[in-house]
């Protein structure tokens, strides 16, 4: 069993990005600028956005944080999005989710200029991705593809089972794995809450991408020997032995599945770091478009 190290892989990519930024700026090119909009005081969102800012500093990007009140109106937030769309110095920006319940998330995401949508959530980018056209790929699926690529995991002709159909992870990952490209060329089955015979489907899988948000849902008796496991799940469960009082758990029961796996991502330290670095990759892509 080979443990897929997302921390080290993401560090390798950050180093590569930093070198490219140095090359661009040394020739008089623009310093990449990533902005993040944070609405309210969600602890997990604040932690995640702060990590993104640190990532920007490490690779030589400029970063901006737009902090807005929990009580901001949808109209005011849309005005802020429009301002960022019009700011020529900002190459890409994200609106950190979740948003307060009185704001329509889809309406806000639709308002982002597709050319600056480095999260890859706008229908224009998702549509281009589905058609295998140049686009911003959603960060987590991009990170998954990078892990498969950098570990030279064979995907062509393999049966890939994606569990979870969210537009953020599961659906785009299933499209990417089925494209005529490496990583890709897999035969893909997309499973979800209405799927029957899930255990039988999983047992036939050469590659499993688990993104359903249910801790330890996939167990050792549900997979075959030699399976490749990409575990996207991150659920906080109570653990009084930890200083924080909790621990992060994936969708795959690591203890029973890892002995059967040929490759497996840990939680934490697997897909998570790759999601963050993919945001940097998309921002750099936005700058390349202007060169």
One domain for residues 48 and 106 = yes
The residue to which tokens 């109570």 are assigned: 238
> Looking at the predicted structure, is the pLDDT value of residue 160 above 90?
yes
CA gap 164, 169 in Å, rounded: 8
Q: What is the pLDDT of residue 42?
A: 83
Does residue 119 carry a catalytic annotation? Answer: yes
Q: What is the pLDDT of residue 163?
A: 98
CATH number at residue 52: 3.40.50.10860
The band of 246, judged by pLDDT with boundaries at 50, 70 and 90, is: confident
Q: What is the pLDDT of residue 257?
A: 98
One domain for residues 83 and 190 = no
CATH number at residue 196: 3.40.50.720
The answer to whether position 199 is within a domain reads yes
Q: What is the pLDDT of residue 47?
A: 86
The answer to whether position 10 is within a domain reads no
What backbone phi and psi angles, to 5 degrees, belong to 209?
A: -110, 110
Residue from 5, 91, 119, 251 carrying the catalytic annotation: 119
Residue from 5, 55, 91, 96 carrying the catalytic annotation: 96
> Looking at the predicted structure, is the pLDDT value of residue 245 above 80?
no
Does residue 52 carry a catalytic annotation? Answer: yes
pLDDT tens digits, 86-95: 999 999 999 9
Write a three-state SS string for 205-273.
Answer: CCEEEECCCCCCCECHHHCCCCCEEEECCCEEEECCCCCCCEEEECCECHHHHCCCCCEECCCCCCHHH
One domain for residues 246 and 195 = yes
Total number of domains constituting the chain:
2
Range of the domain at 37: 28-113
The answer to whether position 277 is within a domain reads no
Does residue 221 carry a catalytic annotation? Answer: no
Average pLDDT estimate for 148-155: 98
The answer to whether position 230 is within a domain reads yes
Q: What is the pLDDT of residue 43?
A: 82
The answer to whether position 75 is within a domain reads yes
pTM over 0.85: yes
Give me the chain's average pLDDT, please: 95
Residue from 52, 55, 206, 231 carrying the catalytic annotation: 52
């Amino acid at each position: 069993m080979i443990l897929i190290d997302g921390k080290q892989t993401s560090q390798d990519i950050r180093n590569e990005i930093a070198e490219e930024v140095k090359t661009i700026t040394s020739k008089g090119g623009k310093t990449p600028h990533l902005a993040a909009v944070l609405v309210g005081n969600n602890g997990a969102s604040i932690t995640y956005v702060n990590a993104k800012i640190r990532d920007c500093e490490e690779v030589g990007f400029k970063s901006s944080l737009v902090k807005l009140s929990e009580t901001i109106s949808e109209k005011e937030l849309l005005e802020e999005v429009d301002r960022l769309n019009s700011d020529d110095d900002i190459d890409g920006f994200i609106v950190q989710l979740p948003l307060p319940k009185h704001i329509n998330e889809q309406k806000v995401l639709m308002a982002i200029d597709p050319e600056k949508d480095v999260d890859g959530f706008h229908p224009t980018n998702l549509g281009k991705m589905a058609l295998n056209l140049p686009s911003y790929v959603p960060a987590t699926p991009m990170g998954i593809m990078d892990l498969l690529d950098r570990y030279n995991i064979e995907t062509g002709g393999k049966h890939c089972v994606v569990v979870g159909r969210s537009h953020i992870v599961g659906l785009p990952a299933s499209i990417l794995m089925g494209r005529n490209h490496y990583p890709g060329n897999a035969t893909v089955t997309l499973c979800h809450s209405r799927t029957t015979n899930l255990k039988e489907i999983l047992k036939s899988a050469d590659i499993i991408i688990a993104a359903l948000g249910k801790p330890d849902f996939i167990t050792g008796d549900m997979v075959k020997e030699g399976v490749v496991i990409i575990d996207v799940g991150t659920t906080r469960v109570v653990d009084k032995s930890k200083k924080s009082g909790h621990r992060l758990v994936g969708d795959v029961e690591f203890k029973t599945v890892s002995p059967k796996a040929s490759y497996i991502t840990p939680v934490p330290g697997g897909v998570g770091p790759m999601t963050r670095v993919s945001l940097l990759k998309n921002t750099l892509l936005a700058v390349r478009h202007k060169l």
